[in-house]
Amino acid sequence: MALVARANAALADGDPRALKRLKVQFRGMGVPEEEITVTGTSARSAGEPSWWIPKPSRAATRSSATPRPKSASTRGGGRTVSGMSWDIASGAGVTALGLAAARSVESGRSDRLIEDPFARALFDAAPADLPMLVDWPGPGVSISDAEALHLHGSRYVGLRTRYYDDALLAAAGDGLTQGVLLGAGLDTRAFRLDLPAGFHLFELDQPGVLEFKSATLGGLAAEPRCAHTAIGIDLREDWAAALQAGGFDPRRPTVWVAEGLLAYLPPEAQSGLLSAIHALAARGSVLVLDRIAGDPTAPDRLNALSERSGIDMESLLASGESNDVAASLRAKGWIAEEEPTAIVADRYGRDLSDPLPAGPDAHASEPPWLDTVFLRAHRPA
C-alpha cells in the first residue's frame, strides 16, 4: 500500500517523472504493462485507490511446474517492526532489502561464499511485498522473471559481500583494531564475522535503517561478536564529527569499508568522502570500496537496468562518470590497486553467468548489475 500511496501522491501533484518511476517498479513486481492503469481522480470502485495495482501474476515463466504459493519461508513482507518509520517503499529501502534477500539466497547454496544467518529475518521483518526469494528454488519450482533476475543478482551480491568480509578480516588479522562501515545498510558483519574481541566496528547510515536493523536483530537476541557502535546519520551531514563523538579514535589505524556506496554519490561528493576518510585515517589504515566503471547514468545502461530490475535506477544513482578514485588516493599518499569484477570472481571461483536463462535473447540473461571495479588502498605507516 506504500506504493499505492506514492502513486496517488504523484497523481495529485501531476508529476509525470514520478509516475514513470512507479511504473518501472510495478513492472519489476511482475505487473503487466497493460494492467497498470491510471484512472485520474475517480476511484476504480468504492474504497479503491485511483492507481489500481493487481496482484502480480505468478504464472510459470521459467518452468512448467505449478507455481508454489507465497509463504513467509520463501518470500518476505507483511510484517512490521513496531515503532519503526523507515519508508521501505523508497528506492534506497528496496535496495537494502534486495541485498538482504540476496545474502539469504547465497547463504543457503551449497557453493555459498558467505554465511549470513540474519539476512532472511531482516527481509521478512520489513512491511513490503517484493518479488524476491530468500531461498534458491528447488528443481522444477516455477518462478517469475523478476525472481529469476534477483537470483541472478544474488550470485554477484554473494561475491561482493565475501570480498568485503575478507578485507575486514584480513585487516583485523594484521592488527588493525577499528573498522568503519560507511552506508552500512542491513549489513550484519558485527554479528556474524569472527572478529577479534578487541576490534571495534562502527556503522554509519540513516537513523531509520539502523533502528530497523537493531530492532530486528534485538528480537532475535543476536549479540555482536566485537565492540559495535551504530551511528545514525545522513552521510551528507557531518558524519566525521558524529563518528568521533561515538568513540572513534583517529590515532588508530582503521579499515574503512564503502561497499556499494560511490555509485550513489556525485563526483564532488565522492571527493568529499575521500577527503574526510583521509583526514581521519591514521597511517597504516586500509580502505576498500567499489565503483561503477564509466558513467552509470548513461541512458542505454540505466534504462536497461531499470527495466530488468524494476527499480528506477535514475532516482538512485548519481549522474556523471565516477572520479578516478585510485588516482585521487595516490595523490594523497595512498597505495591503491583496482580489480574488475571478472578478476575477483575468478579468484573466488564464482560463475556470474545467468543460472536460469530464459532464452538466448532474454533480458534476464544480462547481468542485473553495472560493471564494477573493486579498489583496495593502504596508507603506508
* Predicted pLDDT at 148: 84
Q: Is 21 inside a domain boundary?
A: yes
358, 148 in Cβ contact below 8 A?
A: yes
* Predicted pLDDT at 49: 29
Residues 45 and 191 grouped into a single domain: no
Q: Is 119 inside a domain boundary?
A: no
Task: Report the alpha-carbon distance of residue 213 to residue 217 in Å, rounded.
Answer: 6
Q: Report which of 45, 44, 25, 43 is spatially closest to residue 33, judged by C-alpha positions.
A: 25
Residues 365 and 228 grouped into a single domain: yes
Cell numbers linked to 151: 537470483
Among 57, 86, 104, the domain boundary falls at 57
Sign of the CA dihedral with 307 first, then 154, 217, and 210 last: negative
Residues 211 and 353 grouped into a single domain: yes
Residues 40 and 166 grouped into a single domain: no
Task: Report the alpha-carbon distance of residue 155 to residue 145 in Å, rounded.
Answer: 16
Query: Count H helices, E strands: the chain?
Result: 12, 9
Q: Is 268 inside a domain boundary?
A: yes
Q: Is 90 inside a domain boundary?
A: no
Cell numbers linked to 357: 536463462
Residues 216 and 363 grouped into a single domain: yes
Q: Report which of 68, 50, 187 is spatially closest to residue 116, judged by C-alpha positions.
A: 187
192: helix, strand or coil? helix
Q: How many CB atoms lie within 10 A of CB 297?
A: 18
Residues 202 and 323 grouped into a single domain: yes
Residue 229: give the domain boundaries: 159-378
Per residue of the chain (381 residues), what is the pLDDT tens digit? Answer: 333 334 444 444 444 444 444 444 444 444 444 444 443 333 233 332 222 222 232 222 333 222 222 222 233 333 333 344 456 556 567 788 989 999 999 999 999 999 999 999 999 998 877 778 999 998 888 888 778 888 989 999 999 999 999 999 999 999 999 999 999 999 999 999 999 989 999 999 999 899 999 999 999 999 999 999 999 999 989 999 999 999 999 999 999 999 999 988 888 899 999 999 999 999 999 999 999 886 655 566 666 666 665 666 665 665 566 679 999 999 999 999 999 999 999 999 999 988 877 655 554 456 767 789 999 999 999
Q: Is 78 inside a domain boundary?
A: no
Task: Report the alpha-carbon distance of residue 44 to residue 32 in Å, rounded.
Answer: 18
Helices 145-173, 299-309: inter-axial angle, 10-degree rounding = 110
3, 53 in Cβ contact below 8 A?
A: yes
Q: Is 175 inside a domain boundary?
A: yes
Structurally, the chain folds into a number of domains equal to 2
Q: Report which of 379, 374, 105, 115 is spatially closest to residue 259, judged by C-alpha positions.
A: 374
Q: Is 342 inside a domain boundary?
A: yes
* Predicted pLDDT at 2: 38
CATH, residue 263: 3.40.50.150
DSSP label of 110 = T
Residues 336 and 197 grouped into a single domain: yes
Among 33, 57, 81, the domain boundary falls at 57
Residues 53 and 163 grouped into a single domain: no
Q: Is 185 inside a domain boundary?
A: yes
Helices of type H across the chain = 2-13, 16-28, 91-107, 119-125, 145-173, 189-192, 207-219, 239-245, 267-280, 299-309, 325-331, 341-348
Q: Report which of 106, 105, 102, 84 is spatially closest to residue 94, judged by C-alpha positions.
A: 102
* Predicted pLDDT at 79: 32
Among 17, 39, 57, the domain boundary falls at 57
